[in-house]
Structure 1
């Protein structure tokens, strides 16, 4: 098993077009001219991913007011994302990367430790993409709990 190359500050953010929980296509390039928080999470409706998504939901107005949009990406199917959105009242786009191709290009899929074992899976990661489409911040192996508060502090939001 090999680890995908990780993105670093200054790299061009790999563009993508994915389907959201409504079935509509969403591209990173749609957000050019705005700053975007792109976060990758393993699975909708699991405890950690729910906590993280709800933290983004609860802090969304402050992030938006500071000029940041939020996109959540997981390998879940569109139907599961719609249930997750409805169950938790999520108000930002949840995107389906079922074949994990976007995650691989962003370095958010590969080897990770899970309960002391090395496994292949989604690496919980968060990126800030600047208005020009470049990586302004790249964080891998983030914790679900407390991550949004740390992100806000780092961004001065």
Structure 2
């Protein structure tokens, strides 16, 4: 089932309505390069994987979100949950971002927004009076190729905590 929802990024000046994939849907397959230039596909993951989309590396909200996943990393690992962040940043920017903040998270480069689009997480945004295409801050929890949880327009501050609490 696909439903509409109001999406709001803290930096976006207005609400957007986007159709989302839903729980029970098949997660769109992907293969992207990580911050080390290695190819990574969704099919490589067994069990639970958190696939979170974020607008831009090394910006305040995205850094907060990534660092919170880093801070809770051991808990994700202990539960056997992989975490993958996807943005439209180039690989070199992702490598710098991961290095600067000591991020254990796998960061994937989706420069043309194809994967984000397949996950209903890419489209027109507006900020400071400018309209542009970009990545929406949405997250999908996938288990063996099926979407088991959807988080729309997430708050970067408590997002990792929310996921862990919901998967307890």
TM-score (norm 1): 0.90
CA shift at 1:148, angstroms? 1.2
CA shift at 1:152, angstroms? 1.4
Question: Which protein has the bigger strand share?
Answer: 2
Deviations 1:81-114 (A, max 9, x none): 0000100001121000000000000001124564
**Mapping for residues 54-133 of structure 1, pairs under 5 Å:** 54-112=67-125, 114=127, 120-130=133-143, 132-133=144-145
| C-alpha distance 114-30 of structure 1, shift in aligned 2 (>3 A) | same
Question: Which protein has the bigger helix share?
Answer: 1
The yes-or-no answer on 1:29 pairing with 2:55 is no
CA shift at 1:3, angstroms? 6.4
Structure with bigger RCO (C-alpha 8 Å, 6+ apart): 1
Shifted more, 110-119 versus 100-109: the winner is 110-119
Q: RMSD between aligned alpha carbons?
A: 1.9
CA shift at 1:115, angstroms? 6.0
Give the conservation status (yes or no) of the 8 Å contact 1:4–1:105. Answer: no
Shifted more, 136-145 versus 110-119: the winner is 110-119
Length, aligned pairs only: 153
Query: Matched residue of 2:20: which SS?
Result: coil
| C-alpha distance 79-148 of structure 1, shift in aligned 2 (>3 A) | same
Which whole-Å CA distance do the structure 1 matches of 2:137 and 2:38 have between them?
24
1:17 is aligned to 31
Give the conservation status (yes or no) of the 8 Å contact 1:6–1:106. Answer: yes
TM-score (norm 2): 0.84
| Structure 2 gaps, min length 5 | 1-15
